[in-house]
Chain A
Amino acid sequence: MSPQPQKAVGSPLSRVEGRLKVTGRADYAVDHDIPGAVHAVVVDSSIALGRITGMDTSAAESYPGVLKVITHLNAPRLVYRDYPGTNPRGRRLRAFQDDQVLFFGQPVAVVVATTIEAAQHAASLVEVSYESRQSTTDLTGRPGNVIGNYARGDAEAAFAAADVRLERRFDLARNHHNPLEPHATTARWDGEKLTLWDKTQGVNLTRNEVCAVFDIPPENVRVISPFVGGGFGSGLRTWPHVIIAALAAREVGLPVKLALSRRQMYFTVGHRPRYDYRLRLGADRGGRVTAMLHEPSYETSNHESFWEATLALGQMLYNVPNVSQVLRNVPLDINTPLWMRGPGYSSTAFCIEVAMDELAHELGVDPVELRLRNEPTRDPSTGQAFSTRRLTECFRTGAREFGWSRRNPKPRSTRDGDWLIGTGVATGCYDTWLGQAQAHARLDANGTAAVQSATSDAGPGTYTSMTQLAADALGLAVREVEFRLGDTTMPVAPPQGSSQTMASVGSAVQDTCDKLRQQAIRLAVGDQRSPLHGVNPDDVVVIGGRLQVKDKPARGETYRQLFARNNLTHLEANGSYTPQADSPYSMYGYSAVFAEVGVDARLGLVRVRRILSVFDVGRVISPKLADSQALGGMIGGIGMALLEHTVTDHRDGRIVNANLADYLVPVNADIRDLRAIYLDGDDRRADPIGVKGLAELVKVGVAPAIANAVFHATGRRVHELPITAEALL
């Protein structure tokens, strides 16, 4: 098969669905016009641990417009089957199945009414009484359960013998995903069939959970999710409100719309867990790290054991002969955490990369140089070759573009009026995840194509990037191709998490469209009336909807001509991608992150002046949307470093700042010069289209680069996130 010219891929297209979004015509989960739909509002618990002793729903039930109030006293029993999937180990929260309260803000009732206003008001009229017990929500000083171990070499001995030893303890705040669109679901039953319009990062995730909870077969559930107003991971699990919406719809016999309030978004849809991370690091005088000993602990709930990828970086980021890791999670009376952008990696990278900066300072070695001295040639945890690892190139390119050589390494050496200026650097790295994916494509006689897969577009630009791949594979213009997603009736795709969509769904789309193009080419070369008759199919390419001999472009015909002559309405193809079961390669994306901050040391203010990240992520399909991801990740990193902090009042387990005025994220005024550079090239060892993931990686390494810049500016080393004014006064 002759390679297709790449015209759409690599060009900086704007989002193909952008106009729909900015004109308000993109329908999100509760925007769909569903005739007869009524509204549900969840009532949440105001204690963190205990049981419900009384439930007075009379005022709510008698409020005009209210159809039903559902609580554990009148809810039907649900099956809640276990199933293989992505839910953490344990016993998940079961909506209205008993009187137990496991965490603050847990749903305890739902009010269904004909208008949203009536439902909201009636929800505030539900009187719940509790028998409350003292909850435990503070990670500090709690032992936790060991959930992971790793050792190579003899880390304790190597640490004891090291020329330079660092021992540090990091406290990383809990963060919340805070997508702009609240989690929301519209549910409608048609007899035994359930349709859900859901905010989710994977329609099949929702279907799997709903089938297990209600014990209904998958063919009876359809989940639709064409647009997702951000997720950052919070949509990688089907949370109780989805079940509640379906339950409410069944109970009232009408379609139900349920959207969480912004406040509720802090209670029931997961968070990045708080970390207490002890790290010991030993090195020789030459800056070679000889020992790393990791003891991370993070929060989990008392009912489920949360897991995230906390250990990988410590094993493979640097060429360290002696490593030990003991990972714990600490059960608390909280909701279960959930993966948030760069899960595990972002937190671990902060600790490792700040410690590396401390080591560089201690040794008087440039922090970039220190990292290069510890660069492995093979994955030190597996001995595998890297599919690609161009971290050194990332650092060299970044150092040049950032002007790193002009840096005076001495802390507090640069001043601009009241501002101390500092620069810092850190490594970013994230696993190249790959998942099985399928796609379908249809080419119509009018020369347009429709391609679909049950993936999601929670913001990365999947609609656009898949359209670009499909357009080139079919030899069509971007406007002649429509990519559809977000529906369980479409071919199966993995959830949009762990940056696997481009590589996995992209490879499936490529396969599907290649097959479809080949079908058309074979039809032409076998058709006596075609100018391409008898040509070797491998010599035919399609350009601008015209099939032609690669070296003799004049010889050919268009899809339209071919289809018309053969009386074809369309051709279609199914394709897929299955990751290689035992890849011989260690596959990760890498970045070098450079940050410059200004610190008004008298007032404790930190402002990020610029960030430059250089990425080794393989091929970039959609550069403009890659930039959108990269800049978004940097902004998320600024938030993690300086602002984001979910505060719990440990007296009663209440989240104190459950709103966007008190939970601070960066605003436009915080964002100045952000720049991303992508190393040219591809990684064909990773997957057929040569891409590694981007969306998680972009956040990893940003917070430590900022923290290291704060140290360089001020001489103050902060081991707590976020870095606030009081730490710097």
Chain B
Amino acid sequence: MYPFSYTKVSDVPAAVKAGSDGGRYIAGGTTLVDLMRETVERPGALVDISALPLRDIAATKGGGLRIGALARMAEVAAHPTVRALYPVISQALELSASPQLRNMASIGGNIMQRPRCTYFRDVTAACNRREPGSGCAAREGFNRTHAILGTSDHCVATHPSDAAVAFAALEATVHLLGPGGERTVGFADFLLRPGATPQREQNLRPGELITAVEIPSHPRPLRSGYLKVRDRQSYEFALISAAVALHVRGGVIQTAKVAAGGVGTVSWKLSAVERRLIGQRPSEALWTQAAEVAAEGAQPLTHNGFKVELLKRTVERQLRVVGGTR
């Protein structure tokens, strides 16, 4: 681990000041500390924001939900409003990591997670995210768990967060505060595809702090749920996951919000699937037909070709789980 300075801040302006001066924010530390130990991350200054008053989870006036950036994963998952209105968020969180990690890790940190690509995490391997221009060892290497969507010549790592898949599906917004003031970014624009600059992972300006993630109002009742497919039953990142939320009125799907994880370099919104669902009546045939377009544009690598079919099947399954019929 490289030497670093450590400052704990007690108010938001002090945090933003320290962040603008080049400090790296640390909350739960469940990703950052690991990466520092592996010398993948070498921050010179850590700014501990865990004491900031950004932990509230509250309904918004518009009928949505605002989740403070420092709310712990476990707190959000167990929150009665989250459970009642957005089971997809609770499930995505509870299928993540382990209880110990969920007790430490914050929502803001969760969507800031860095890739799990083993070449990224091995400082002796080539990785454009870690060391721009050094190459991508994964592209021609062992890439069973890597992305099939949103990849570039420079990077093929997936975004590892489960919660981000639920947020992408529900079209959350990310509230930011920086030296230039507040701004809000839609989730689809928050996580960045690697393109030619894989080292840029989020739409964040220097010193900006995530203050909250907001779920917009959706028509109710909104049935939703998260399915995570993985080799073992727990404590593993997704091979494939699907977040599905449906609002059905008069026997017709009025609203469909669908996203997938484990397949994209960012959490992957499945707009084509949504379009096939809206205005239709739930049926087995519909789920199959909608899921058929889930992997549109997929570019599989040497070892992850199975993800194309598995993505379709996972989406199909979760449409049925949430939308019913059988």
CB of A117 within 8 A of CB of B1, answer: yes
Give the docked Cα–Cα distance between A668 and B1 (Å). Answer: 31
CB of B142 within 8 A of CB of A729, answer: no
CB of A643 within 8 A of CB of B231, answer: yes
A642 within 8 A of B: yes
A530 within 8 A of B: no
CB of B317 within 8 A of CB of A668, answer: no
A649 within 8 A of B: yes
Known: A46-B124, A121-B3, A725-B229. A661 touches B141 (CB 8 A): no
A667 surroundings in chain B (CB, below 8 A): 232-235
B313 within 8 A of A: yes
B116 within 8 A of A: yes
Give the docked Cα–Cα distance between A658 and B38 (Å). Answer: 12
Q: From residue B145, how far is it (CB to closest CB) to chain A in Å?
A: 8
CB of B306 within 8 A of CB of A729, answer: yes
Taking a contact as CB atoms closer than 8 A, the residue among B2, B118, B233, B310 that contacts A657 in the complex is B118
A79 within 8 A of B: no
Q: From residue A328, how far is it (CB to closest CB) to chain B in Å?
A: 26
A603 to chain B: closest residue by CB:
B229
Q: From residue B181, how far is it (CB to closest CB) to chain A in Å?
A: 38
CB of A605 within 8 A of CB of B229, answer: yes
Give the docked Cα–Cα distance between A483 and B310 (Å). Answer: 55
Q: From residue A564, how far is it (CB to closest CB) to chain B in Å?
A: 55
The number of residues on chain B lying at the interface, defined by a beta carbon within 8 Å of a beta carbon of chain A, is 34
CB of A604 within 8 A of CB of B310, answer: yes
Interface residues of B in 136-186 (CB under 8 A from A): 137, 140-142, 144
CB of A666 within 8 A of CB of B141, answer: no
CB of A664 within 8 A of CB of B313, answer: no
A418 within 8 A of B: yes
Interface string of B1-13 (1 = CB under 8 A from A): 1110000000000
Q: From residue A695, how far is it (CB to closest CB) to chain B in Å?
A: 24
B309 within 8 A of A: yes
Taking a contact as CB atoms closer than 8 A, the residue among B3, B118, B137, B231 that contacts A724 in the complex is B231
A673 within 8 A of B: no
Taking a contact as CB atoms closer than 8 A, the residue among B116, B121, B232, B314 that contacts A643 in the complex is B232
CB of B141 within 8 A of CB of A656, answer: yes
A46 surroundings in chain B (CB, below 8 A): 124
CB of A654 within 8 A of CB of B234, answer: no
Interface centre among A124, A604, A607, A656 (most CB of B within 10 A): A656
B137 to chain A: closest residue by CB:
A649
A657 to chain B: closest residue by CB:
B118
A654 surroundings in chain B (CB, below 8 A): 122, 124-125
CB of A651 within 8 A of CB of B141, answer: yes
CB of A664 within 8 A of CB of B232, answer: yes
Give the docked Cα–Cα distance between A658 and B142 (Å). Answer: 13
Known: A647-B142, A654-B124, A656-B118. A670 touches B313 (CB 8 A): no
The number of residues on chain A lying at the interface, defined by a beta carbon within 8 Å of a beta carbon of chain B, is 34
Known: A661-B116, A662-B118. A669 touches B141 (CB 8 A): no
Q: From residue B228, how far is it (CB to closest CB) to chain A in Å?
A: 10
Give the docked Cα–Cα distance between A583 and B92 (Å). Answer: 61
Give the docked Cα–Cα distance between A658 and B123 (Å). Answer: 13
A416 surroundings in chain B (CB, below 8 A): none
Give the docked Cα–Cα distance between A190 and B310 (Å). Answer: 62
A680 surroundings in chain B (CB, below 8 A): none
Q: From residue A62, how far is it (CB to closest CB) to chain B in Å?
A: 14
Give the docked Cα–Cα distance between A12 and B269 (Å). Answer: 55
B237 surroundings in chain A (CB, below 8 A): 661
B234 surroundings in chain A (CB, below 8 A): 667-670
Taking a contact as CB atoms closer than 8 A, the residue among B39, B116, B313 that contacts A124 in the complex is B39
CB of B229 within 8 A of CB of A669, answer: no
A120 surroundings in chain B (CB, below 8 A): 1
A726 within 8 A of B: yes
Q: From residue B295, how far is it (CB to closest CB) to chain A in Å?
A: 13
A133 surroundings in chain B (CB, below 8 A): none
A605 surroundings in chain B (CB, below 8 A): 229
Interface string of B232-244 (1 = CB under 8 A from A): 1111110100000
A142 within 8 A of B: no
A565 within 8 A of B: no
Known: A666-B232, A669-B234, A670-B232. A729 touches B1 (CB 8 A): no
B226 within 8 A of A: no
B307 to chain A: closest residue by CB:
A726
A479 within 8 A of B: no
Taking a contact as CB atoms closer than 8 A, the residue among A602, A647, A651, A656 that contacts B313 in the complex is A602
Give chain A's interface residues, CB within 8 Å of chain B.
Answer: 46, 117, 120-121, 124, 263, 418, 602-605, 607, 642-643, 647, 649, 651, 654, 656-659, 661-662, 664, 666-670, 724-726, 729
Q: Which 7 pairs show the lowest CB-CB distances between chains A and B?
A: A669-B234, A46-B124, A726-B306, A669-B233, A656-B142, A670-B233, A667-B235
A sample of 29 inter-chain contacts (CB < 8 A) reads A117-B1, A120-B1, A124-B2, A263-B38, A418-B317, A602-B317, A603-B229, A604-B229, A604-B306, A604-B310, A642-B231, A642-B232, A654-B124, A654-B125, A656-B118, A658-B118, A659-B118, A659-B121, A662-B116, A664-B232, A664-B236, A669-B235, A670-B234, A725-B231, A725-B239, A726-B144, A726-B306, A729-B309, A729-B310
Give chain B's interface residues, CB within 8 Å of chain A.
Answer: 1-3, 38-39, 116, 118-119, 121-125, 137, 140-142, 144, 229, 231-237, 239, 305-306, 309-310, 313-314, 317
